[in-house]
Structure formats: C-alpha cells, structure tokens
C-alpha cells in the first residue's frame, strides 16, 4: 500500500500534502488501534520525499513539517474544544458527558499517534519533551495536573517511555 502512495504528485503542492496529512491524522484518531501503521506510513512518505531532493542539497521533508504542524495544532485544539464543550449551556448533562468522553477518546488517540510518530523518527526527542512538559504544566489551581492529563501522560509514557530514556 505504501508503494502506491509514493508518487511525485503527492508532494507537488502544499495543498495536496496538507490533504494527505489531514487524512492520515483523521484515520489515526478514528482508529487508534492502527496508529502504529499510520505513523509508519508518515515515516515512509517523509523518507520518500527526502529521496526526491536534489543530490548534494540538505535533506528536507515538507511532509514531515506538515505532520509536526498538524500534531501541534491537534494537541492545542483539544484544549479549546474541551473548554467550549464544558461551557456550552445548550447541552444536557448527558450530552456534555458524552462530548467530553469523545474529547478524551480523541485526545488519547492523538497522544498515542504522537508517540508512534516519535517511535518512527517523525517527531524529535525535543518535541516529545515539550509535549510532556506542556501536559505536566496543566495543573489545576497550582497543584497536580488534572486527572485527564495524568491519563494522557500514562498513555504517552506507555507508548514511548523506554525509548524516551
């Protein structure tokens, strides 16, 4: 399957790259059990793009940059989406709970995918440390991180902990 994706057309424009990355992220968040596969696809496509670079030039991957950018945006977006859901007065209590549980499911899927991207060398060690730091800083009233963030940290560390050492 990856061989079929490796075409020059995939990297021809920023819009095409962005669409591919958005599709991969959507699938990875909808199917977290396959996050390892989607991370390997990202790595394979990024390496293919590097192979298209002119000989003698510095290796670069715009696809990898788009993946990092999308991962950062997804990570930040969850905080604002969750705050909106909690403040929505139009929803019943059950609807709010359902919406918040869906946010947590997507957040866990996103953090698992981020971990898999790190394991596949798409995200750097420093990026992972920033994500850990941001998640740890989300403390409630100056105390400990919220239980949701502890859950996300546990998910991330169970995915990348040994390699992060």
Residue 154 Cα distances to 61, 140, 145, 148, angstroms? 30, 18, 12, 10
* pLDDT single digits (tens) 4-23: 666 677 777 888 888 888 99
* pLDDT single digits (tens) 101-113: 888 888 899 999 9
pLDDT band at 164 (very low <50, low <70, confident <90, very high): confident
Domain that holds residue 105: 2-164
The pTM for the full model equals 0.81
**Residue 58 maps to which CATH number?**
1.25.40.180
Look at the chain and report how many structural domains it folds into. Answer: 1
Rounded to the nearest 5 degrees, what angle is found at the Cα of 127, between the Cα atoms of 112 and 44?
A: 65
* pLDDT single digits (tens) 43-91: 988 888 877 777 777 777 888 888 888 888 887 776 665 566 566 667 7
């Amino acid at each position: 399957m990856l061989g079929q994706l490796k075409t020059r057309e995939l990297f021809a424009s920023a819009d095409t790259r962005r669409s591919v990355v958005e599709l991969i992220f959507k699938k990875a968040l909808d199917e977290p059990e396959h996050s390892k596969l989607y991370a390997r696809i990202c790595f394979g496509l990024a390496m293919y793009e590097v192979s298209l670079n002119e000989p003698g030039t510095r290796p670069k991957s715009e696809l990898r940059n788009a993946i990092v950018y999308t991962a950062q945006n997804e990570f930040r977006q969850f905080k604002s989406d969750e705050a909106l859901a909690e403040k929505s007065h139009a929803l019943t209590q059950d609807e709010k709970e359902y919406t918040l549980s869906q946010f947590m499911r997507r957040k866990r899927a996103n953090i698992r995918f981020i971990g898999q991207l790190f394991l596949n060398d798409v995200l750097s060690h420093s990026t992972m440390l920033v994500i850990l730091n941001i998640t740890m800083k989300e403390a409630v009233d100056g105390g400990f991180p919220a239980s949701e963030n502890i859950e996300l940290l546990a998910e991330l560390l169970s995915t990348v902990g040994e390699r992060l050492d």
